[in-house]
Structure 1
Amino acid sequence: MIVTPATPEDLPLLLAFREEAASWLSQLGSDQWRRPYPADRLLTTIEAGSVFMVRDGETTAATITLTPEAEEGLWSEEELSEPSMFVNKLTVSRRYAGQNLGGRLLDWAGDRAFRSSAKWVRLDAWTTNDALQRYYLRQGFEHVRTVLEGSAVNGGPRVSGWLAQRAAAPADHSFVDRAPAPTPIAR
């Protein structure tokens, strides 16, 4: 499998991935990702070079967003002073479920973060999705805290504020990495 940067042509596929994941999560009783993600915001992250695709031949198996930019209002100033990369929108096609593709992508993210001189790989997860939180803990992340107030979108309760981190480290993720070399983080 190969990791490549997403292109604007991938936008419909990425939106479909999110819909597939939302449907699956709904079947599990979760309200995560029920609202459609704004296509223009996703296109902006693609154009910024922070969205990556895992390709298995002609098929896209998974996607991850990895950025040095934290979502506003989640991390403290002290935490933000530490060089970090932030994982968002990790999604695995249901066709590839159960193959540890998500775990390997988190290892890839940790390796990429390490190569960019980051100390941490950080993420925020849905506050009501206990299964997802347990998944990240099994992947070596440590729960930092849960932020419930101050949604950047509408000032209401935050729905994705379960914060976790793990040290950035080299990893054997077994992907062929065709993404450009990461840029060193300056903080």
Structure 2
Amino acid sequence: MQNEVQVLNSEAKDIDVIFDFYDMAIEHQKKVFNKHWQGFSREMVTTEIAENRQYKILVDGQVAAIFAVTFDDELIWKERDQDSIYIHRIVTHPDFRGYSFVKQIVEWAKKYAAENDLQYIRMDTWADNEKLLKYYTGCGFDFAGTVSLTKTEGLPKHYEGISLNLFEIKV
């Protein structure tokens, strides 16, 4: 029997689940890589929920993954920051690894971009994370270069002093 998979906006009542997912992700990052997220402000996530930019993926009604989007990312994409949906903080619950949620998010984002006259789907990750570079290009993203961040005000703490690999899909 096929599992029912839905991509839905997160709601205010989901905030504790979202932070549980972030905690799981940080623990996983500490095990598999030399960098990890430094946590996120509840205010930022509350704003994302209120602006319909925080999403959950349900499998048979259970939260299996979360992600956030934004529509401007000038500190990261600089002069290329235009006509894009930017995907951030994808977290899959360990019980649902292997479901290829990034590919499902890409399909969702392609539809969203087409409906909203956006030209690109974009993402970033740490520049020295070869595993994610291969994974994201395997999900259909083109490698779009590496940037070193000089200004990080307004970004989560883990962006300080790092270089990022950039990825995009032209819609």
Query: Could you tell me the TM-score, scaled by structure 2's length?
Result: 0.86
Counterpart of 1:147 in 2: which secondary structure? strand
Corresponding position of 1:80: 81
Alignment: residue pair count: 163
The alpha-carbon deviation at position 14 of structure 1 amounts to 0.7
Cα distance in 1, alignment partners of residues 78 and 43 from structure 2? 28
Q: Which amino acid aligns with 2:134?
A: R
Q: Does 1:28 align with 2:37?
A: no
Partners of 1:58 and 1:104 lie apart in 2 by: 16
- What letter is aligned with 2:124? D
Task: Give unmatched runs, 5+ long, in structure 2.
Answer: none
Q: Kindly indicate whether the alpha-carbon contact (under 8 Å) linking 2:149 and 2:161 is maintained by their aligned counterparts in 1.
A: yes
Q: Counterparts of 1:15 and 1:101 in 2: how far apart (Å)? A: 19
Deviation at 1:85, TM superposition (A): 0.9
Tell me by how many angstroms 1:58 deviates. Answer: 3.6
CA distance in 2, matches of 1:58, 1:110: 23
Unmatched tracts of structure 1, length 5 or more: 169-187
One-letter amino acid matched to 1:27: K
Is 1:52–2:55 an aligned residue pair?
yes
Counterpart pick for 1:61 among 64, 70, 84: 64
Greater helix share, structure number: 2
- Structure 1: 4+ residue segments shifted above 6 A: none
Residues 98-130 of structure 1: CA deviation (Å, up to 9, x unaligned): 121222122211221122111110111122322
Match of 1:142 in 2: 142
Report if the CA contact (8 A) 2:141-2:168 is conserved. Answer: yes
Shift of 1:66: 2.2
TM normalised by structure 1 equals 0.79
State the distance in 2 between where 1:156 and 1:98 align: 31
> How many percent of aligned residue pairs carry the same amino acid?
18
From the two aligned structures, give the one with the greater strand fraction.
2
The one of the two structures with greater contact order (alpha-carbon pairs below 8 A, sep at least 6) is 1
C-alpha distance after superposition, 1:56-91 (max 9, x if no partner): 234101112122122x322232x224x111111111
Pair 156,85 (structure 1): closer, same or farther in 2 beyond 3 Å: closer
Distance 2:42 2:13 in 1: 12
Residue identity matched to 1:152: T
The corresponding residue for 2:170 is 167
* 3-state SS of 2:102 partner: helix
Cα displacement (A) at 1:29: 2.8
Amino acid in the other structure paired with 1:80: D
1:16 is matched with 20
1:152-172 deviation digits (Å, cap 9, x = unpaired): 13794135x21110122xxxx
Which residue in the other structure is 1:42 paired with? 45
Structure 2 counterpart of 1:24, which letter? H
AA at the equivalent of 1:57:
D
Give the secondary structure class of the aligned counterpart of 1:136: helix
Instruction: Show the counterpart of 1:152.
Output: 152
